[in-house]
Structure 1
């Protein structure tokens, strides 16, 4: 059964909170905050998630990946199924990650940053 929690991952540079599982408009979603200048993979103009997260998101019935670009002040989203179809698996030193071109992430006009505090943290990989 899905439950709200933050997801922590291990990478070559250490443990990191990758994002939060929560409900948005009644659907389970994965939410994270990013900065395009720091997190986007510029060679592909793509966003990525750690490969070890995908099975967790699927098992919890996640429908959407939401990401808030702090630098642009803009929320974007992509359906998890679409993310899986468009993803390319690569490892550029931070572990295996799935990359999807930024053009497939749709802006969500008027949606603000989600500030909900979640106490539960789970190390997923």
Structure 2
């Protein structure tokens, strides 16, 4: 289903918005906003993504993951397939997640936070 929409996932601590699928510069991408102090897994120096989203994003032919760090006000990007290939799966109490080292993410210079409102929300079990 290739349309712009937000994803809400069920975790052990409740339902959470995981991010949005957007068309960015002609490519279908997964976009989310994070706080590095709160969302980075510092033991691995990695960013994570809930494993349950991977098949959904693959079905949408997502090319990139864009991540806006609200603390540093910087945008980061990684090829979706590179994220999947270079990550490890672990469960530390919030469900299975893929962890990918921050060294594989590139800063996108000059790109600002995306403030686009998305009305469509998809619940992912």
Give the total of aligned pairs.
125
Gaps of 5+ in 1: none
Q: Which residue of 1 aligns with 2:33?
A: 33
TM-score by length of 2: 0.99
Where 1:78 maps in the other structure, the secondary structure is: strand
Provide the rounded CA distance (Å) in 2 between the counterparts of 1:18 and 1:107: 21
Instruction: Give structure 1 regions of 4+ aligned residues with deviation exceeding 2 angstroms.
Output: none
Mapping 1:93-104, distance limit 5 Å = 93-104=93-104
What is the alpha-carbon distance in structure 2 between the residues aligned to residue 120 and residue 85 of structure 1? 29
Q: CA deviation at 1:84?
A: 1.0
Q: Return the TM-score normalized by structure 1.
A: 0.99
Is 1:14 aligned to residue 20 of structure 2?
Answer: no
1:111 Cα offset (Å): 0.1
For structure 2, the residue ranges without an aligned partner over 5 or more in a row are none
